[in-house]
Amino acid sequence: MRTALVYHEDMTAARLLWEDPECEIERPERLTAALRRLQQGGLEQRCLQLAPREASEAELGLVHSPEYVSLLRGTQALDTQELRALSGQYDAVYFHPSTFHCARLAVGAALQLVDAVLMGAVHNGLALVRPPGHHSQRAAANGFCVFNNVAIAARHAQQKHGLQRILIVDWDVHHGQGIQYIFEDDPSVLYFSWHRYEHGRFWPYLRESDADAVGQGKGRGFTVNLPWNQVGMGNADYLAAFLHVLLPVAFEGGYHLESLSQSVCMVVRALLGDPVPPLSGPMEPHRSALESIQSVRAAQAPHWTSLQQQGSAPTPRPGTCSADGRTSLVLPGGPTFKAAEAQASAVLSSLLGQLHLHPTPPVRTAVALTVPDAALGLPPAVLHQEGSAPQEETRAWARLHEALAQDTAFTALGKVLHLLKGILDGQVSSGVATTPAAAAMLDVALRCSLSHRAQRVLCVAVGQLDRPPDLANDGRTLWLDIRGKEAAALSPFHVSMPLPGTTGAFLSCVLALVLPLAYGFRPDLVLMVLGPAQGLQEPHAALLAALLRGPAGGRVLVLVEQEPTSQLAGILARVLHGDAPPSLGPFSTAPPEDTQALLYLRGQLEAQWKMLQCCDPVP
């Protein structure tokens, strides 16, 4: 199995033994509700079950002081009154006689998962644990967190497995200041956190949770905080943060039970490689989100070349006071907090609703090869398609292009039409087809899609592939050319860009242009075509295909100009099936001409496509 799940029922033993409105939200049901949802969705059964162990005290000592570990060990013998008195010495913490055991299991679960992934037993996994950990510090519990599970797991990965660079992405309504403190001077760990901040009015009320906290000493630039200063951030805001902050930096160098359980299900689906539903809501980030993103980019630009190349500008910081001039604090459990929880739950319910409207197709990935190739090394679950469209239908489409009437091309056309219909009818999620005459095949695939079920089709054409001159410019097709010509925005729906010459230029092109356009367009289908003289390195092509799964909910068809000796079709099929793309190799910066071309295109298109505005100053 490719995905592991780590859980132990003993982690539900600790519970609050006295009345405390602030702490009552951290309760065993946080785990049981999430596990129940995984079971109801059939996801638990698809994962490899790993039994956690207790972390040793030596492993706890990778992050925590011996005195603190000893203090926590002693809680096992305390009575309720003593536990309450000790808990009162910390911020938003309660202890139980089982806390030490539960917390050691939580750490051990994280370590078991790290070992399983790094030793190749699984590809990825989820540790379902409590108590949580990201607020815990070297010698202090904080915010329901006892031992810092993630920080210990990172140190364990470095010491046992020899990892040199680790990225921690902390997605929580609260800032994980414990992780930040532990690694703030360490350039081997890049810590990224997006969290509700409200200009310092939201717990934990820390100045160092803001965007200009970037680390200390050698670790400057390796702490990245994205503070949300407004309630109600949606899909467009998080997507903008991914594309314009997290992914550029990463490539270069919940207490609401319903929403928590839904989030866990969505994460496991993604880890299993299932296509996720398309994002809902308008693809236009809030002004407050743009301000936060630009503040982060401005603070981090001195440390990251990729952020310098896309342009970055500081923005004025709004006042932090309420209308009457007094600073107002947003407290957990208050009406504003509960309203935000309800909104988050509604968003996740919408996503799960879309899963019912767009269930996972029976076939995740299929390949249609002109010449069968047993050497591609495809996973067993990838379908080698043998079927073809009816001869009469194939012949009708072949009449559009003389090149498709020839025997090999005609056979390939029938297979492509059959695979395309499977994707559009919901029987296949994604596919790869090798073909001669890629330009003609793309034209037919596009017209067939628009006449069948697709309302909007995104075409990403790499190589010598011209847009059909009679293709209507009606907003149903977004055509992106990537090849060695000049940058040109011929219309909002026809964009041509030079072929990126370096890894840095490629990543900037994809993250700052291709994906913002793709998500803003919200296609029903993505057609990616690698035509003659396409020029992309195999790892670049694989990453592009993997990232294009998102905008259309996994519905991607990749057409590859037939190359008898190439293994590219197999690599593309594996990444569409959910495997990780090959390594891009060393990061190399974009040359000035590529950067200028990118900035020119963004300037031409941002009025139409709001997702492109995230790197520019807010008026």
Residue 302 gets which letter from DSSP? G
Using DSSP's 3-state secondary structure scheme, residue 190 falls into: strand
Closest residue by Cα to residue 165 from 467, 587, 591, 615: 587
Return the biggest CA–CA distance within the chain: 86
- Name the residue type at position 138: R
Structure tokens at 223: 């702490």
Strand partners of residue 137: 140
Q: Are 144 and 131 in contact (CB under 8 A)?
A: yes
Q: Compute the distance between CA of residue 498 and CA of residue 312 in angstroms, rounded to an integer.
A: 22
Beta strands in 2-95 (DSSP E): 3-6, 48-50
Listed in sequence order, the DSSP H helices in 253-357 are: 257-272, 287-300, 305-309, 335-357
Q: Compute the distance between CA of residue 428 and CA of residue 577 in angstroms, rounded to an integer.
A: 11
Q: Compute the distance between CA of residue 378 and CA of residue 376 in angstroms, rounded to an integer.
A: 6
Closest residue by Cα to residue 224 from 244, 204, 199: 244
Using DSSP's 3-state secondary structure scheme, residue 494 falls into: strand
Which residues are catalytically annotated?
A: 135
* Helices 335-357 & 257-272 angle (0-180, nearest 10): 40
Quick one: three-class SS letters along 505-546?
A: HHHHHHHHHHHHHHHHHCCCEEEEEECCCCCCCHHHHHHHHH
Count of CB atoms within 10 A of residue 486's CB?
9
Strands 124-127 and 3-6, by their bridges, are parallel
